[in-house]
Structure 1
């Protein structure tokens, strides 16, 4: 186990919850930071708080509501439909979200004595979001280190994993059922398997089906 301290960017969804469990097994001390950015469904915040409470993880909730003022999007506005037209960014993309989240997480991490920042972004299943790419994370890591003269390490355990492989990781960690039943990924604010119709639910369900098929066949992905 790593003797250092980690700060996990934590939303209560499948990916960040899997990262939280993974960090708990690798670091001596783990804390979580959750962002209230005016998202449609406050259940997301409640879900994250409940998981952190059950795990005994210190959770910091930061007010980032300015994002909804700067970049109107389908995650914060009921009057913007959730859609993804070919050749365009999805309406669920929030300009600057990961840039701001990770920057604020870094400021908090330094105050808390943590050098490792963990986020669940993935370039394999990233819905076209530019701020989930590996090149962005590496670039921001250098920038944060220079900005604060502090040696941060931004870790992305899911960067090259498909959603099916993320389910496999949760199973390897012994928390498959917890992630499946307690997390909220759905854009329509429905916990666990969700609405079954939004892009987040479809991606989650497709990955789960692929993993369960592989597991039944005794295969690893």
Structure 2
């Protein structure tokens, strides 16, 4: 049985990565995080997606990243920008993907799974350092050194099927696989119903992706 742990935020990219893992024949175990983000709409979306796509199991782990702040997504005193920024934006969450992958690695070792899927993207993204291939490769080295399975000769692989795709290509691929993007929430400032602001960086990238793909955008905007 080919098992995988799939990081599922409830957004467009992670839903597509889950669909790709399933298409490759993996028995998918979805992992989401309540990390003190500004809204819970994406967690509600993750639960819907996990149920719709028939994962083997879906866990939500609580991490209090809001207790250290440092990001517009975890500190409500920092506004989410409504315009493009240069450099690494204030929506970067310190060490987020490092922590997420660490939990995924722990669950994978328990499940005797050797593959972890994460929907990071290095083309149409916001400039986050933990979305780059260099980071993923470094984490795979860590996985081999830090786990019982790793030191006993098992190799963990962090699968990044979206990393070189444009947002339009991601949307096209997910549409071919039957992903219902109306269920996903990408907005940094979504309301309780999951309605998007339409002006944050994530909303701009998502909208431009649908336009470039020439596919109708199902996003509900405020």
Q: 1:197 aligns with which of 193, 199, 213?
A: 199
**Is the 8 Å Cα contact of residues 193 and 205 (structure 1) preserved in structure 2?**
no
Matching of residues 124-163 of structure 1 within 5 Å:
124-148=123-147, 149=150, 150-163=154-167
Give the CA RMSD over aligned residues. Answer: 1.8
Question: Deviation at 1:172?
Answer: 2.0
Runs of 5+ in structure 2 lacking a partner? 216-222
Greater helix share, 1 or 2?
Answer: 1
Query: Alpha carbons of 1:7 and 1:81: their partners in 2 closer, same or farther (altered >3 Å)?
Result: same
Q: What secondary structure does 2:75 align onto?
A: coil
Structure number with higher relative contact order (C-alpha < 8 Å, ≥ 6 residues apart): 2
Match of 1:22 in 2: 20
- Offset, 1:192: 7.1
What does the per-residue CA deviation read over 1:118-147, in whole Å, with 9 as the maximum and x for residues that have no partner?
A: 000011122110110011101111111111
Matched pairs, number:
207
Determine helix, strand or coil for the equivalent of 1:74.
coil
Q: For residue 47 of structure 2, what is the aligned residue in structure 1? A: 49
1:208 to 207, 210, 215: 210
Q: Is the 8 A contact 2:80 2:189 kept in 1?
A: no
SS at match of 1:27: coil
Q: Provide TM-score, normalisation by structure 2.
A: 0.87
**1:21 Cα deviation after fit:** 1.1
Q: Which runs of 5+ in 1 are unaligned?
A: 214-221
